[in-house]
A and B are shown apart, each in its own frame.
Chain A
Amino acid sequence: MKDKYGLILGLGIAIAALVGLLFFLKNSGELEVIEYIYLLLVLLIVAGTSIILLKKAKDIKVGLPVGDELTEKTTWKAGYYTYLFSVWIAVSLLWYNILVPERFGVPELSVEQVIGILVLLPGAFFIGLALYLNKKGEV
């Protein structure tokens, strides 16, 4: 029962993200390059989450346990690498903002851009890595 509630909640979030994206696209004018990257990352995260949720739904339907030991291990491993990745991304962005705009005359990254990158990039990385490790089947 708990798995079913989790599944419904996950699907609800994925649908809400897609609806939010549609509203954003409808109300926004010309998009900047970074906004296209954000959109792509959101789509990747929603697609990845949907694949995981559909797999879970299939497992629930045939009566299999949703989280076996391998899945747990792969998400731990993916989480560990994502943690390292997100710390290095934050440090790289800090270095970028200190070194690049002054030298090359490009604009500094704003708070919204930095937070967007720090939420979406590790999210996409985690889902991609978890899916890859699950498919590979060994940890």
Chain B
Amino acid sequence: MTEILVLIVAVFVVFLWYMWKMNQEKKAGFTLKDERTTRIEGKAARITVHLTGFFMLGLLFYYTFADNIADGAPVLETGWALIISVIFNSLLYAGLILYFQRYED
């Protein structure tokens, strides 16, 4: 339990530090993101949100199938469903950003 609390605090500290750093750069007059980066990130995020919705529905169908219909298929646990969701979200977003950075325009 202590390890988990330390992890949570560490994540929040990193988050606060990141926000503070961004604020400092903004105050100093730096442009945080140019127009192309904003466009690419927005496009990638919008596609990620839509696809993740469908992916989660697919996961729900799998869960129903494994739990009620197919005997012997591994049943999904809540923790794993959440971890799969976060990993899918992050990898898809990163992949789309890389793709658009390379092939857009």
Interface residues of A (CB under 8 A from B): 73, 75-80, 82-84, 86-87, 90-91, 93-95, 97-99, 108-112, 114-115, 118-119, 122-123, 126
Contact = CB atoms under 8 A, between A and B. Distances in A.
Nearest to B57: A119
Interface of A is mostly: helix
Contact of B81 (A73, A75, A91, A111): A111
Nearest to B60: A115
Contacts of B63: 111-112, 115
B97 to A, nearest CB: 11
B94 to A, nearest CB: 11
Interface residues of B, number: 33
A88 to B, nearest CB: 10
B82 A123 contact: no
8 contacts: A76-B46, A83-B48, A83-B93, A90-B89, A91-B11, A94-B83, A98-B79, A115-B60
B95 interface: no
Contacts of A122: 49, 52-53
Interface string B14-55: 000000000000000000000000110111011111001100
